[in-house]
Structure 1
Amino acid sequence: MLGKRALLCVSAALVPQAALAADDIQSGLDEIVVTAQKREQNLNDVPISISVVGSAAIEAARAQDLRDISRLVSNFSVQRQGGLDTVFIRGIGGGGRNIGMSGRAGVYVDGVYAGQFASINQDTLSVDRIEVLRGPQGQLFGRNTVSGAVNIVTQKPGDAFSGHVEAGYGNMDLFEISGALNLPLADGVAVRIAGAHRERDGFVRNDVTGTDIDNVNRDSLRGQLHARLGDRLTFDLAADYSRDKANKLLGEPLNDVFGLNPPSLGTDYDVSFNDDPFQDIRVGGVSGTFTHELSDSAELVSISGYRETRWKRRNDLDYIPLDLFVFDFSDRFSQFSQEVRVSFGKGGPLSGVAGVYYFDETAKTHRGVTAGSQVEILPYGFVPGDQAWVKAEIHSQSIAGFASVDWAAAERLTVNLGARYTHERRKLVDYSSLGQAVINVATIPGYSDKRSSDSLDPTIGITYAVSDQANLYAKYARGFKTGGWNIDFISPQVFTDALRFGDETVNAFEAGVKGESADKRVRYALAGFYAIYDDYQIDQFVDLGGGQVSIQLRNAAKVSSWGAEASVEAAPVTGLLLNAGLGYANASFDRFRNGGGPGIDLDGNRAPYAPRLTATAGARYEVPADFVGGTLGFGLNWNYRSKSYRGPENTADQLIDARHLVDARIELAGQDRRWSVALWGRNLFNDRYVDNRIFDFFATQAVEYGEPRTYGVSARIGL
């Protein structure tokens, strides 16, 4: 506590109390324009609980990816689940550990769905802003957005030549370099290219191999072309690629695997595996967007997108130095989407958007477990080279029509109406698996199935302008999440009785207020919500006793989520920006019969990875630095999450710790920000916390700790 107080006092002492503002120091809050309803609107006019993180905040917080962004937004997190990243909004999220189940919150890059779990943790390279939309967004964003959506808007090419190069170094041999170049090619034609490389040693050591685990090794590239093809027609071509290749830790073991009493179960940030874990994620895509101004009040937009994701993972399944079992997982997703929409009525009594959407995805998986050279010491009859594997392919096609209309029914009253009708077909092709009865894995020579879903998802709301600066709103929204199949290592009983699972639906209610002060120095938002999820899909490891574990994916529960979130931004004096957010979400099972095994109901238990309380706060202060003709800036961010549980059983061995994380940054910038040097630190007080817990097929319990304190320096030069 003394160290925290000392640091805060030193930071305060470094800030001049009376300084003249430089021309480039911000003196108020900028207007925020969002595309949350697929047309440009002022943030305060959109009847949705939205948090927006702009490029300046992304840079100040050193937010490298979407997981880092979650430290800046309340009631929002990107949670690791056994090596997978999943978005949670208002305590609801998650997805399957296989291709048969997708997540509950959609991530979109410039209007194109980013894909399933492996492509969730998007890089923030060359990003203009990130909009976090809370609550069901099925009306405009489609299926699998029953908890919310994340809308990533990238920086577009401009008409002037510009660019920058930035490099940094930090502890644990962190090295990073990034850059961007904006190049006008002709009148109305420009390109923007950005790239980044980041590497860092791991903070976990494998005592057997000497390898650093949980290291960072990521490359990202983004390119865009913008062309004005006429007075009212523009074309945008965008492409991106990233590769994340690292020794990603699944967890540090807490129990004696197979009862063998290994010589070391590992200590904090220390493991003893005979085989290093490995993960390789390749994500890429290309999109083309035509925008045609039909008139001064109408616009036609066409977005065509193709994306592909490849995910590979290898891990020591026994978590000990012996060569017993190793798993190799490999998934591949390819998708094409086409959206055509018209927005109309800008500034008129009737405005909105309407369109059609088509989506086609092919997902393939091949996952295997192989017995190692020492497996014969186990009393189960295995021999080296024994295998269990599962492979399958799923084709998904979806077509939808949608519309959203705002009707100015009275001088200050607006009625919001919308709906989306979706027809989806899914086909399971050649699902096969091989296993051994002793570990209770079904052997399936080949199985095919198909299913279809139709859903009408309406929304209705009202917005009342209390004044020119404040709006009250209330809304109802419905959404659905498509069903599928449990494509995993499953028991014969699961294959017979519960391979299929059905659609999930949500009915949600929200009311709130948004506004700003007359001098535009304070912006605020408050929202309350209540959502009911029927036929809630859940994926869990169920301990059947006797060393037997069943992987179950089923419609087994009714879940409700209720709570509120509040946020405020303020610019009380020139150069000072303050922000704070508070979120409360009570997400729990209203009904979950036999959820913990036969005869064990989980009614009333909390949903997985659902902290009740989340909070954020930040401050940025800039003052003139006359000795360089620029500015000196100070930034501080704080993030809090209360405890949660990994699984629906809510047992002590599923507890995920509460955490307080503090990040800070000091930056010296030259005139017009032509250059800058920054000193930064993350998790300054080295808070040690459990970030995730693992329970796997062999009943192994493992824990993944959050990253310890990191710090470094970076320098940027403008072109």
Structure 2
Amino acid sequence: MVSIRAIAIAMICAPVAAHAQDAAGDTGALDDIVVTAQKREQALVDVPISISVVDAATLAATRSYELRDLSRYVPNFSVERQGAIDTIFIRGVGGGGRNIGFSTRAGVYVDGVYAGQFASINQDTLDISRIEVLRGPQGQLFGRNTVSGAVSIVTERPGSVFEGRVDGGIGNKDLFEIRGMMNAPLGEGVALRVSASHRERDGFTLNVPTGTDLDNIDRTSARAQLSADLSDGVRLDLAADYSRDRSNKQAGEAITDTFGTGPSEEPGAFRTPYNRDPRQRIELAGGSATLNWDLSDSATLTAISGYRWTRYDRTNDLDYASFDFFFIDFDQSFRQFSQEVRVAFGKGGPLSGVAGLYYFDESAKSLSVVSGGSMIGFLGLGLQPGPGGIVSARVKTKSYAAFGSADWELSDRLTLNLGARFSHEKLKITDYAISAPAVLGLASLPDYDDARSVDSFDPTIGLSFKLSERSNAYVKYARGFKSGGWNVDFISLPLTLDGVPFKTERVDSGEVGFKTENADRTLRFNAAAFYAVYDDYQINQFVDIGFGQTSLQLRNAAKVTSWGAEASVQAAPVRNLLLTADLGYTHAEFDRFPDGGGPGVDLDGKRLPYAPRLTASAGASYSVPVGFGSLDLSAQLSHKSGAFSGPENIAAQKLDARTTVDARVELVGDGKHWSLALWGRNLFDERWIDNRVFDFFQTQLVEYGEPRTYGISGRIGF
């Protein structure tokens, strides 16, 4: 695919970009973009934060049905699938996983409510108005565990017009998808909006012993919202959502035998030899009540009460072979409640901002069971079929915070940006117990209870300079923190002495940026450069404990630095034509990581896992008027450079670079009441290794990128 990569470089260097697919329509100008990144409505050009905004039209045109799909065109952002676990990386920094004592570095929020742990990250984009990807520490307004950034998902609100639509489609690998939405006014100032979706598709990987397709899609989601104007200036929004994912996601395809000493018994891509099919079940449910009260012309009170519940259940083969030796079951659940009260003030005045209070309460429990299969006796280790290793734990988190952010106009052009958040957090682990056979080199921990608390003051300070009516430059400093925790997993005996708890991580970040658009709004350009230093960086890695086995270790590396830049251009040079390009560069590495590769092996200067140097995309869309409506043509090219899956940066951890092309041809009827589209993703069938994993028995696993997909879809609206 050398020619494709040459095309990619040429398009990346071209001065074009965009995310609003129909922005260059009737007026020929780009749409205004309003965001709530600072918890109040502001024009994007006025917000001193590096933000990518993806609207509903872009989500539909690019077939971005889940948050992970944004990785194809949002720079310096990705949702990586690490052994079937989705994790967000922003500017090369990410982490978190199935360990309930190890939280994520980028928070996901749905209408202002924190979405929770790892199983909630890859949100369905059903009935979404826009997604705001905020890069850099967001501690001052979003709080804990946003040291690399935050993702704010804003859903469509009920409206005053009765309307609805049904979207459906089919494609290769027996793809079937259907979505529906209905908006109904119920009375004066009261409206209801409901939506639902279902997607299913066969997998690309064949598990040879069972004949089962792996990495299939089987996901159902639903959302309901009720909006009511209680009185003049007082609105109540009630929302509820539910999602169920029953996909057979695998940790990876084995390329070695069980102990990593020879090749797998099923060589070749998209074939596995597992005697037991991997199975994964994720259920998400939640609700929120949001009250907005206009206290005056210049002040609005907002109160958000949120509750979320998550269940994660997974079964996975541990020997990754046709022999029935070992398998593991994970069962985790999370319950959380949050309450936020804030006041936005100073609309149109020299001093404007937001101030508020926040409370968060989460309870998580986990049970992991390793069982011996029917053939375990042949290993000669004295083990019997049935449950042999058990890890159980409960973790409770409570967080209290006061926060504020203000913009003070020092002159007509110069604005001082101030923000701060004070957080008090209490964490407690109870009933942490490990029961494991000594022959496997794992610890037996009868009971472990611990508690910790942390106070954190996370400020931000910056200056914004208005170069013209539509151009702003800014410089800012921001601080954030990520909670400490505990290594709640199967661990080796030496780790029980000092390897269970790990410390709080902190980040100090500097950023400069520039945002502008021309007078007729046919060209928009945003760019930012950043430099961030992480102290006590928390890292998750497999440690060799001998006898062909590994133990998962969580520890604090000494220091990490991430620096780079991102840029985005949107251009509408002529009516109905939209050109787009986004470019991100990140240099993320360990400044100091003593003994990171084992005793006496420092990892100073090594790149962070899953931190590609370059992410880029370019695209074009053009609408051709026809007698009954329009013919819309669009294409998207995305590129991601190579990276490593582990901190050692060895060859067995190297991830491939890739360049993919997507395209879409759509007929749209007058009034946009119906459409019919042909689409394709990864049109040139690019092949690459997306992830590499070393598992418990030193088995080397790889995950391949998704091959070419194509299909037809349509929409009917009323």
Q: TM-score, normalised by structure 1?
A: 0.96
**Which residue does the alignment assign to 1:698?**
697
Following superposition, the deviation at residue 386 of structure 1 comes to: 4.8
* 1:299-355 C-alpha deviation (Å, 9 max, x unpaired): 000000000110011111111101000110011011000000000001100000000
Name the structure 1 match of 2:525: 524
Partner of 1:665: 664
Q: Contact conserved, 1:637 with 1:664, CA < 8 A, in 2?
A: yes
Alpha-carbon contact 1:256-1:265 (below 8 Å) kept = no
Partner of 2:377: 376
Give runs of aligned pairs for residues 372-451 of structure 1, distance below 5 A: 372-451=373-452
Query: C-alpha displacement at 1:51, in angstroms?
Result: 0.4
* Residue matched to 2:648: 649
Which residue identity is paired with 2:646?
G
User: How far off its partner does 1:254 sit?
Assistant: 1.1
Question: What CA deviation, in whole Å up to 9, does each residue of 1:655-698 have, x standing for no partner?
Answer: 11111111111100111011100000011111101111111111
Matching residue of 1:468: 469
- What is the CA distance between 1:80 and its match in structure 2? 0.7
Given the alignment of the two structures, is residue 237 of structure 1 paired with residue 238 of structure 2, yes or no? yes
What residue number does 2:353 align with?
A: 352
Q: Aligned residue for 1:56?
A: 57
Query: CA–CA distance in 1 between the matches of 2:78 and 2:562?
Result: 15
Q: Pairwise mapping of residues 35-50 of structure 1 onto structure 2 (< 5 A)?
A: 35-50=36-51
SS where residue 475 of structure 2 aligns? Answer: strand
- The answer to whether residue 492 in structure 2 is matched with residue 491 in structure 1 is yes
Q: In the alignment, which residue of structure 1 is the partner of 2:713? A: 714
SS in 2 for 1:442: coil
Please give the secondary structure, in 2, of the residue aligned with 1:397.
strand
Cα separation, 1, equivalents of 2:474 and 2:3:
44
2: CA distance between counterparts of 1:572 and 1:134? Answer: 29
In structure 2, the residue matched to 1:136 is 137
Would the alpha carbon gap of residues 405 and 263 (structure 1) be closer, same or farther in structure 2, given more than 3 Å must change? Answer: closer
Q: Secondary structure of the equivalent of 1:229? A: strand
Residue 275 of structure 1 corresponds to 276
Match of 1:614 in 2: 615
Q: Name the counterpart of 1:538.
A: 539
Q: Is the 8 A contact 1:333 1:361 kept in 2?
A: yes
Kindly state the Cα deviation for residue 492 of structure 1 after the two structures are TM-superposed.
Answer: 1.3
Which runs of 5 or more structure 2 residues have no equivalent in the other structure?
9-21
- Pairing 1:680–2:690 present: no
State the secondary structure of the residue aligned to 2:58.
Answer: helix
Aligned ranges 1:99-118 → 2 under 5 Å: 99-118=100-119
Alignment check: 8 A CA contact 1:138 1:145 kept? yes
Q: Which amino acid aligns with 1:339?
A: E
Q: CA RMSD in A?
A: 1.7
Partner of 1:11: none
In structure 2, what residue type is equivalent to 1:84? I
Query: Any conservation in 1 of the 2:24–2:576 contact (CA below 8 Å)?
Result: no
**Aligned partner letter, 1:548:** Q
Distance in 2 between residues matched to 1:3 and 1:658, nearest whole Å:
14
Deviation string 1:380-422 (CA, Å, 9 cap, x unpaired) is 3322225111000001000000010100011100000110000
Per-residue deviation at 1:639? 1.1
Q: Which amino acid aligns with 1:630?
A: G
CA distance in 2, matches of 1:360, 1:284: 16
CA contact (8 A) 1:575 1:621 kept: yes
2:205 equivalent to 1:193:
no
Task: Write the distance in 1 (CA, Å) between the matches of 2:158 and 2:235.
Answer: 12
Q: Which residue of 2 aligns with 1:602?
A: 603
- Tell me, yes or no, if structure 1 residue 180 matches structure 2 residue 200: no
Counting aligned pairs with the same residue, the percent is: 60
Within 5 A, what are the aligned runs for 1:284-323? 284-323=285-324
The aligned counterpart of 2:153 is: 152
Check conservation: 2:462, 2:476, Cα contact below 8 A: yes
**Equivalent pair of 2:260/2:698 in contact (CA under 8 Å):** no
Shift of 1:446: 1.4
- Number of corresponding residues: 704
2:199–2:217 CA contact under 8 A, matched in 1: yes
Please say if residues 659 and 687 of structure 1, whose CA atoms lie closer than 8 Å, have aligned partners that are also in contact.
Answer: yes
Change beyond 3 A, Cα 1:47–1:321: same
Give 1:471's aligned amino acid.
N
Aligned partner of 2:18 in structure 1 is none
After superposition, the Cα gap between the structure-2 partners of 1:699 and 1:536, relative to the gap in structure 1 and judged at 3 Å, is same
Find the counterpart in structure 1 of residue 587 from structure 2: 586
Gaps in structure 1 of 5+ consecutive residues: 9-20
1:502-530 CA-to-partner distances (Å, cap 9, x unmatched) read 10000000001101011111111111100
- Aligned AA (1:699): Q
Q: SS of the residue aligned with 1:246?
A: coil
Secondary structure at 1:118's aligned position in 2?
Answer: helix
Aligned 8 A contact 1:544 1:597 in 2 = no
Q: What amino acid is the match of 2:662?
A: D
Q: CA deviation at 1:2?
A: 11
Partner deviation per Cα, 1:535-573 (whole Å, 9 max, x = no partner): 000111012444232211011231000000111001111
Q: Is 1:216 aligned to residue 217 of structure 2?
A: yes
The 8 Å contact of residues 314 and 330 in structure 2, kept in 1 or not, is answered as yes
The amino acid of 2:374's aligned partner reads S
Mapped to 2, the partners of 1:247 and 1:451 lie a distance apart of 37
The answer (yes or no) to whether the contact 2:24–2:572 under 8 Å persists in 1 is no
Task: Report deviation, 1:375.
Answer: 1.1
* Contact 2:260/2:699 (8 A) holds in 1: no
Cα distance in 2 for partners of 1:284, 1:129 equals 20
Shift of residue 263 of structure 1? 7.6
Distance 2:37 2:264 in 1: 54
Paired residue secondary structure (1:466): strand
Partner of 1:257, secondary structure, is coil
Q: Which amino acid in 2 is paired with 1:271?
A: T
1:23 to 1:693, Cα distance in 2 relative to 1, 3 A:
closer
**Deviation of residue 166 (structure 1)?**
1.1
| 265 and 26 in structure 1: CA distance in 2 versus 1, 3 angstrom threshold | farther
Following superposition, the deviation at residue 438 of structure 1 comes to: 1.6
Kept after mapping to 2: 8 A contact 1:22/1:630: no
The one-letter amino acid paired with 2:349 is G
SS in 2 for 1:56: helix
| 8 Å contact kept, 2:24–2:577 | no
Q: Give yes or no for contact 2:587–2:613 (8 Å, CA) kept in 1.
A: yes
> In 2, are the aligned partners of 1:24 and 1:672 still within 8 Å (CA)?
no
Query: Shift of residue 92 of structure 1?
Result: 0.4
3-state SS of the aligned residue for 1:140?
helix
Deviations 1:175-215 (A, max 9, x none): 00111000000011001101000000000001111111110
Which residue of structure 2 lines up, in the alignment, with residue 16 of structure 1? Answer: none
Deviation at 1:436, TM superposition (A): 1.2
The amino acid that maps onto 2:717 is: G
Distance, in Å, in 2 between the alignment partners of 1:109 and 1:97 is: 21
Amino acid at match of 2:331: S
**Displacement of 1:465:** 0.4
1:412/1:319 CA distance change after superposition, 3 Å: same
Task: Tell me which residue corresponds to 2:17.
Answer: none
Q: Give the Cα separation in 2 of the matches to 1:507 and 1:492.
A: 35
Task: Name the counterpart of 1:342.
Answer: 343
CA deviation after TM superposition for structure 1 residue 266, in Å: 3.5
Per the alignment, residue 632 of structure 1 pairs with 631
Q: Distance in 2 between matches of 1:2 and 1:139?
A: 45
Distance 1:263 1:408, change over 3 A: closer
Query: 2-side partners of 1:514 and 1:378: how far apart?
Result: 64
Q: Corresponding residue for 1:87?
A: 88
**1:83, CA displacement in angstroms?**
1.2
Q: Does structure 2 conserve the Cα–Cα contact (< 8 Å) formed by 1:395 and 1:427? A: yes
2: CA distance, partners of 1:150 / 1:675 = 31
SS at match of 2:386: coil
